[in-house]
Structure 1
């Protein structure tokens, strides 16, 4: 990446972070409150570079924008059934792609680069596009690392549901993503459920 490209990339990442810093929802990170989607974007970037250190610029931008301003489209705006959930997810992907594109355009990216990031965020050609699959791997790994333990606490008496979620998560990942997931230092509760999920798959 040239010096100009690096400066443009950093400015775009900072603009995405500023957008996420407005999140009214906060989580504790090392005992300090942080905007929920801000820390999510940072975790996505860190996991991407840890798993795919040679990731290209558009993939790095898409990882940071995966949940950009997600709170502005709440789940409660859609019917609380499977159809409503899928509609909500589709709307979110479109929204994230459009907002990331606007920020990129402001910073001088080409229409081709903007379209690439939109394609990544909309998961177009998953399982056939290497970069889309890499982004999906990172989404799954971040979920397993930072968010699944809380999910276990909320659904402690619903082990079949937890196992099913892990199986679906596992099937979304590439072999490289799966190997990374197995090598990670999960809490015992996650290890046990992951073992059960893989035994039943």
Structure 2
């Protein structure tokens, strides 16, 4: 790992360590954003051991300081959700870009990561698709079970189908192999 990559990842972790929301990680409570970033990095390394520095930075910074812009600060409904998500992505890109500049990255590198964080080019940009695959795997591995018990079966199937549409065909196949104990309707939703 290059020194500047290590510097950026440490800066992201330091920012996310301030998250007032905690999540259980084994026997301890940890800042939720910090834990999410670590899970994103671990899943990136597992799925894509050859991941570029751009992808590794974008994965770690995916939800940097997300708590600073609560969903409740935007209107209810789909339009409000999309506006919030767009604002979050722009904020993440700007924050991580500043960290990259401070670590010595140049403008093209910063722009490449910013495009990933803003989700530009899904299904067209292989790096963006890899990031989306990682996001989906992190959701399925770490957050799906809690999500599923809080929503009715129809909503769960709809969200799983939306998640699967974001994934590459290879990632969907891998998810079916790794999460082989899924009920048949959920497995079908992942198959698409």
Do they superpose with TM above 0.5?
A: yes
Note if contact 1:162-1:193 (Cα within 8 Å) is conserved in structure 2: no
Aligned to 2:186: 194
3-state DSSP class of the match of 1:79?
coil
3-state DSSP class of the match of 1:28?
strand
In the alignment of these two chains, the number of paired residues is 192
| Residues 38-73 of structure 1: per-residue CA shift (max 9 Å, x gap) | 010000011011111111111100000000000000
The gaps in structure 2 that reach 5 residues or longer are: none
- Give the Cα separation in 2 of the matches to 1:40 and 1:193: 28
| Residues 63-110 of structure 1: per-residue CA shift (max 9 Å, x gap) | 000000000000000011110000000001000000000111111110
Note if contact 1:97-1:118 (Cα within 8 Å) is conserved in structure 2: yes
Please tell me whether residue 82 in structure 1 is matched to residue 78 in structure 2.
yes
> Which piece of structure 1 moves more, 162-171 or 190-199?
190-199
Alignment counterpart, residue 55 of structure 1, candidates 24, 36, 51:
51
Alignment counterpart, residue 172 of structure 1, candidates 166, 169, 172:
166
Aligned to 2:150: 154
3-state DSSP class of the match of 1:167?
helix
Note if contact 2:176-2:187 (Cα within 8 Å) is conserved in structure 1: no
Structure 1 residue 7: Cα displacement: 1.3
- Give the Cα separation in 2 of the matches to 1:198 and 1:52: 20
Considering only aligned residues, what root-mean-square deviation do their CA atoms show, in Å?
1.4
The gaps in structure 1 that reach 5 residues or longer are: none
Structure 1 residue 192: Cα displacement: 4.4
